[in-house]
Structure 1
């Protein structure tokens, strides 16, 4: 898969500015982060986003559609806790808050579409505790899974991750069909037909 040039237009001019901001931010001292930890996490995050762009292009969505992918991770609500957590650095409470902020502000995560304890507005079509996830976001979600696999394991193949994680992922039935169809088209028939989503187990 070829790297998409759109990424370079969006990010390359801003990374030095972001590094300068991060290394002088009060949260750096609060979480006892080093400049090296900040640089390592920023590089890792950029690599992940590059791979997501490549995966998105491969499955049929362009860079302009996902130009805001994971941008919240560069903000203070997420960046520093993620940097501390990166490579097992600790600060679990801070990371939990950052993770909640992330999934509730990024609709490419399946968790974004859940209603806690079934509390949803009257008239909302909810199945399995979730509303339908538009195909644009479910495609980005799969691209995110692929990009994470490549960034963190060095391999595009996410078969093992899918088998381990599908049982905890809760989706509206139509979203589940969309994602299964996409995974099948990518060569994951074994996991599509050999594993179940959370709502199919209960």
Structure 2
């Protein structure tokens, strides 16, 4: 039987928060945090970009994260691995604000994180990266569209995929894929309905 995820007994998001706490300055960079996290960096990169898009905030802010997520999806399709663009990786971020956001995310994801464990390795294998990248690109484009009710569902799907990749849990990645595909259908339906209403009879 597979053992529970051992990289951190408190979960993936807790590991990210711990890496942030280890930074002594008032401002941090995501590149510095990722260096501390080490293995499975690709999953952490996806998680770091998708999580903020799931957090309620200023209207329109969620869409900002669609562009770097799209770049990440393109990298994965090309087979170049998941890396943060330099303009994001080296941008200073307030340490206190990052910790507060991570603590909120950890509380919301705790029920799922307790069930993380390495399994279904075929889905987390690098060979599956291109297929996942295509889905991430599609979800990123939906997140980038500044329409009401269209951002949160694809962002949540991308977050679950990142969580599964970071933990090596293929079952959770598969769950994220299902949620992601469902959000594509949902947002696509809303868009078609909006277009139908807007067009003259």
TM-score scaled by structure 2?
Answer: 0.32
Give the structure with higher Rg (CA): 1
Say which structure is richer in helix: 2
TM-score scaled by structure 1?
Answer: 0.31
